[in-house]
Amino acid sequence: MLDEIHEPLEQERADYNTYTLGSIGHHNVVIAGLHQPGNSSATSVVTQIRNTFSDINCVLLVGIGGGVPVKTNSGIIRLGDVVVSKPAGEYPGVVQYDHGKAEVGVFKRTGALPPPPAVLLHAAQDFAVNRTLTGELMDPLTTSLSRISSDGRLRGFQFPGRMNDFLYQSDYVHLGAGELCSECNCDSRERIKHDYGVDEAYVQVHRGIIASGEFVIKDAMKRDQLAAQYGILCFETEAAGVLADMPCLVIRGVSDYCDSHKNDQWHGYAAATAAAYARELVLRMPIYKSKKSVG
């Protein structure tokens, strides 16, 4: 998704991160991956980034997450869609649903995470308006993803097809551990039918509350209960670790429905849709006067 790739720079021995440096439009970009999932790993990576690249202006946390199949202004959340953190009501964009204290008969969430920087919220809003005006035929996300579809080397990141997008009733549990639904004979009568519209591959972007916790959720009933309580659109496991050290915008491609039927089939494509959205967001960010500006 980079326009150019730059040569690596020297870094301190105490910095164990591996960086990819490049540019998107007029912005210099630093990309760092997590060596393992989780909030503690994310905190460590961000701390080292800040020490090595002190002039970074904005941070995007890009990856995959589990979607809540609810209806937003953009439609029903489905696999391959993108969920972007945005403040809503009393919540700043990301909530730690498992951070708090147990009181008599209730779990009380404590602490608060910072909201996304205003410049990123403005860029996200600008992109949303632009997509609405241009329509599906000239959609920049579709253009970015078409590069992947035409490259055989990136087959693992291509659209799996809606015939492989299975959403089951919340109380229906997966029959076989480690197997696809088609391989373990999960009852197709328990599936919820989708209405995808004209273009099944069109990526919808949903903005709202993202939940960050220590554990991956594989329970649809728990998903629904937490989603109803906090207005959650997506679950993931790194944002709280990053936000503890630096405000950021969280971008997640939906790779599963947080249920027992989850598998890896949509991971690559969900990562690609999130990366494509991040690229378009960077292109809409203001160009700062400092020559050391980072997108």
Mean residue pLDDT of the chain comes to: 88
Among 114-118, 155-159, 163-167, name the most confident range: 114-118
Amino acid identity at 268: G
What pTM was estimated for this model as a whole? 0.92
pLDDT at residue 290 above 70? Answer: no
pLDDT at residue 249 above 70? Answer: yes
Instruction: Report how many domains make up the chain.
Output: 1
The three-state (H, E, C) secondary structure of the chain, written as one string: CCCEECCCCCCCCCCCCCEEEEEECCEEEEEECCCCCCHHHHHHHHHHHHHHCCCECCCEEEEEEEECCCEECCEECCCCCEEEECCECCECCEECCCCEEEECCEEEECCCCCCCCHHHHHHHHHHHHHHHHHCHHHCHHHHHHHHHHCCHHHHHHCCCCHHHCCCECCCCCCCCCCCCCCCCCCCHHHECCCCCCCCCCCCCEEEEEEEECCCCCCCHHHHHHHHHHHCEEEEECCHHHHHCCCCCEEEEEEEECCCCCCCCCCHHHHHHHHHHHHHHHHHCCCCCCCCCCEC
Q: With respect to residue 50, please indicate whether it lies within any of the assigned structural domains.
A: no
Q: What is the mean pLDDT of residues 205-233?
A: 94
The strand pairing partners of 294, in sequence order, are 28, 56
Residue 133's domain comprises 58-284
| Closest among 7, 24, 36 to 60, alpha carbons compared | 24
Q: With respect to residue 75, please indicate whether it lies within any of the assigned structural domains.
A: yes
Q: Residue 225: what are its φ and ψ, rounded to 5°?
A: -65, -45
Q: With respect to residue 7, please indicate whether it lies within any of the assigned structural domains.
A: no
Q: Residue 96 maps to which CATH number?
A: 3.40.50
pLDDT at residue 46 above 80? Answer: yes
Q: With respect to residue 20, please indicate whether it lies within any of the assigned structural domains.
A: no
The predicted structure's pLDDT at residue 105: 60
Q: With respect to residue 45, please indicate whether it lies within any of the assigned structural domains.
A: no
Q: With respect to residue 49, please indicate whether it lies within any of the assigned structural domains.
A: no
Q: With respect to residue 23, please indicate whether it lies within any of the assigned structural domains.
A: no
Q: With respect to residue 169, please indicate whether it lies within any of the assigned structural domains.
A: yes
The predicted structure's pLDDT at residue 116: 96
The predicted structure's pLDDT at residue 149: 66
pLDDT at residue 231 above 60? Answer: yes
